[in-house]
């Protein structure tokens, strides 16, 4: 049995470099090629334009929206007791909608996004007076230390040329013991295509975990949308994180 496992592992190891080379070939490398300011302008243009207008529809088609809702509905990521929730890079309000549905009635939700157009779209889609909408960059959050006891950050970190300042900012505004749901595009075949479509980068789990730890955030557990996603290692990276 052990011998068989060894052989399988060896085969997988041999295949990995080829697979990684393929991912690198497909993956968009704009984030590494241009200056931070130029890249930031590109992100604003992409989300402010027709692609951004299609974001909510894309999240439905890719099933990220219903699968994301599942995490909250089944309490895999439990919002109970959270009083002040920050949704980073709220886009079309895909996650904010779940927050409004599953968080406690008295929880305050704040949505931030780099793109004014995306904030407007989120406001129109959510049709709720509840959340505050703030135009801001994840790398420089306009909030006092420890302002939030819960943060959700879905598919935004891959838009930072250097993720560390963004993670450090979220660690700063999170209360001690506060929790965060962090979703990112994974270094996989489908992730590489996503990166092509949205001009973002991808992560692998170990790298992301190390980055979190370097700013005082601990990965409490890895979450999966469904059992099938776990078995197939598909659906991107999804961490529940705690500020230690
Ligand atoms: C793929 S969408 C994610 C939408 C939603 N959070 C979700 O889970 O589906 C990425 C969003 O992050 C925003 N964004 C990109 N870079 C950002 C930054 N540095 N600071 C804040 N928001 C950013 C984009 O404008 C876009 O609305």
Q: Please write the tens of the pLDDT for every residue from 183-242.
A: 999 999 999 999 999 999 999 999 999 999 999 999 999 999 999 999 988 899 999 999
Ligand 1 neighbourhood includes 219 CB (under 6 angstroms): no
Task: Judge if pTM exceeds 0.85.
Answer: yes
Note the pLDDT tens digit of each residue in 31-45: 999 999 999 999 999
CA of 13 to the centre of ligand 1 (A): 34
Contact between residue 83 and residue 47 where contact means Cβ atoms under 8 Å apart: no
CA of 91 to the centre of ligand 1 (A): 5
Q: Which atom in ligand 1 lies closest to the alpha carbon of residue 59?
A: 9
Instruction: Give the mean pLDDT of the chain.
Output: 92
Q: What are phi and psi of 131, to 5 degrees?
A: -75, 155
Ligand 1 neighbourhood includes 169 CB (under 6 angstroms): no
User: Measured between alpha carbons, how far is 150 from 134 in angstroms, rounded to an integer?
Assistant: 17
Ligand 1 neighbourhood includes 201 CB (under 6 angstroms): no
Ordered strands of the 237-243 beta sheet: 132-135, 108-113, 84-88, 148-154, 174-184, 237-243, 217-222
Q: Which CATH architecture has domain 2-243?
A: 3-Layer(aba) Sandwich (3.40)
Ligand 1 atom 27: the closest Cα is on which residue?
Answer: 91
Q: Domain coordinates of the chain in residue numbers?
A: 2-243
pLDDT value at residue 10? 58
Q: How many CB atoms lie within 10 A of CB 108?
A: 14
> Which of 99, 113, 154, 239 to mutate for ligand 1's pocket (most ligand atoms within 8 Å of CB)?
113
Contact between residue 224 and residue 241 where contact means Cβ atoms under 8 Å apart: no
Ligand 1 neighbourhood includes 138 CB (under 6 angstroms): yes
Ligand 1 neighbourhood includes 174 CB (under 6 angstroms): no
Position of tokens 């819960």? 150
Note the pLDDT tens digit of each residue in 86-112: 999 999 999 999 999 999 999 999 999
Burial class of residue 122 (count of CB atoms within 10 Å of its CB; 0-12, 13-18, 19+): buried
Q: What is the DSSP letter of 28?
A: -
């Amino acid at each position: 049995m052990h011998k068989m496992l060894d052989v399988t592992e060896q085969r997988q190891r041999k295949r990995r470099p080829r697979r990684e080379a393929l991912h690198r070939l497909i993956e968009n490398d704009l984030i590494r090629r241009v200056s931070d300011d130029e890249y930031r302008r590109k992100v604003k243009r992409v989300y402010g334009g027709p692609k951004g207008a299609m974001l909510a529809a894309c999240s439905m088609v890719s099933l990220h929206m219903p699968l994301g809702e599942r995490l909250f509905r089944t309490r895999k990521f439990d919002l109970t007791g959270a009083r002040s929730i920050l949704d980073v890079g709220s886009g079309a309000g895909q996650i904010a909608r779940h927050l409004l549905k599953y968080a406690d009635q008295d929880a305050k939700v704040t949505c931030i996004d780099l793109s004014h157009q995306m904030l407007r779209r989120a406001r129109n889609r959510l049709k709720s007076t509840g959340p505050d909408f703030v135009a801001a960059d994840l790398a420089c959050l306009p909030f006092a230390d420890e302002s939030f006891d819960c943060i959700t950050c879905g598919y935004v970190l891959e838009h930072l040329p250097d993720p560390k300042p963004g993670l450090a900012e979220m660690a700063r505004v999170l209360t001690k013991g506060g929790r965060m749901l962090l979703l990112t595009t994974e270094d996989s075949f489908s992730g590489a295509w996503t990166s092509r479509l949205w001009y973002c980068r991808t992560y692998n789990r170990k790298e992301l975990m190390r980055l979190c730890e370097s700013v005082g955030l601990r990965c409490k557990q890895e979450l999966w949308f469904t059992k099938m996603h776990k078995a197939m290692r598909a659906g991107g990276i999804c961490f529940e994180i705690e500020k230690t």
